[in-house]
Amino acid sequence: MAQALFFPKLNRLGLENVTISESSLQTMIDGCPALECLLIRRGSGFRCVRINSISLRGIGVEAYWEDLRLEEVIIENAPCLEKLLLFGSAESRHISVISAPKLQTLGCLSSHLSDFSQHDFSTTLTLYSTVIQGLRVHSLTETVRTVKILSVRMIALSLDVVIDLMRCFPCLERLYIESIKPGKKNLWLRKHQNLIRSLDIRLKTIDWRYYVGTKSDVDFATFFLLNARVLELMILQVYHSNFKEEFFTRQREKLQLDKKASGGARLHFTTDHFHGSFTDFCVRDLDLADPFERSYPYQFHALS
């Protein structure tokens, strides 16, 4: 049947919980010459997808654990591709981007450790000649200056990891962070003295969940508040139990807002109620200018 499928005007294709052979999937994608958004979630029966499309603007991929699972995505030629969204976890998944000169939005990069060992089950992303496994930049031979929006999900909050990613993507304007566990020491004043002088931080928006106010969190936030000179907005999502006036008062003192590098930077606290994850997507989200941007609940507290 796949050999007969041809949709010359189809703009969006979403395949979820679909079992299909690799050849049939490839034929279906090739049979959509006007395709702009492609979403593949929890599919099985295929290991590799190759993308050669002059029309695709957004691709979203989630791997699946059962039977034959998606292990490799190769974007050979996608001159209009602007968004590459990766979610889910899969052992030894490899994403290769050979040609995507307009890529602006990337995520969610994440690191997954097995519960039984320290083996890293993270996706390996090869962007041209740069290699990133999970959140670690293993080979940086050339920077990727087109990427403006990045989403990361880390087990333990790490400023060093984020700084390495900023080196890789020097033109970042929006950064979305989801941290699961308390971070280790994120001291930076002495450690990154030379870096602060040389690194051009172009971030305008930082959206971070979850901020709990530990020293690690404070050190991480103050790095950007005191050094990001064009920062416009930092949103700190906190657990509902912390959404109290005394919590905000303590954070105002710890975060040194009177010393912030950007005079126009705003700091907003919001709760975790009703928030979807940065990895909750449907195919129409690939049309959004910023698919990671989320609406916020009515509970909002601003610190100037």
Strand order in the sheet with 58-62: 12-16, 37-41, 58-62, 83-87, 105-110, 149-156, 174-181, 205-209, 233-238, 266-271, 300-303
pLDDT at 91: 53
Angle at 189 between CA 183 and CA 192, to 5 degrees: 85
pLDDT at residue 68, as a whole number: 62
Amino acid at 199: L
E strand spans, the chain: 12-16, 37-41, 48-52, 58-62, 72-77, 83-87, 94-97, 105-110, 124-127, 130-133, 136-139, 149-156, 174-181, 205-209, 233-238, 266-271, 300-303
pTM for this predicted structure: 0.90
CA neighbor of 30 nearest in space, from 50, 57, 1, 60 = 50
Mean pLDDT check: name the lowest of 30-34, 115-119, 131-135: 115-119
Q: Which residue has the higher pLDDT, 81 or 293?
A: 81
Query: Phi/psi of residue 104, each to 5°?
Result: -120, -30
> Which single residue is written with the structure tokens 């059962």?
66
Q: Cα–Cα distance between 296 and 299 in angstroms, integer?
A: 8
More confident residue, 80 or 275: 80
- Give the integer Cα–Cα distance in Å for 250 and 252: 5
pLDDT digits (tens, 9 = 90+) for 151-200: 999 888 999 899 999 999 999 999 999 988 777 787 776 666 666 666 78
Q: Strands, DSSP E only, in 128-282?
A: 130-133, 136-139, 149-156, 174-181, 205-209, 233-238, 266-271
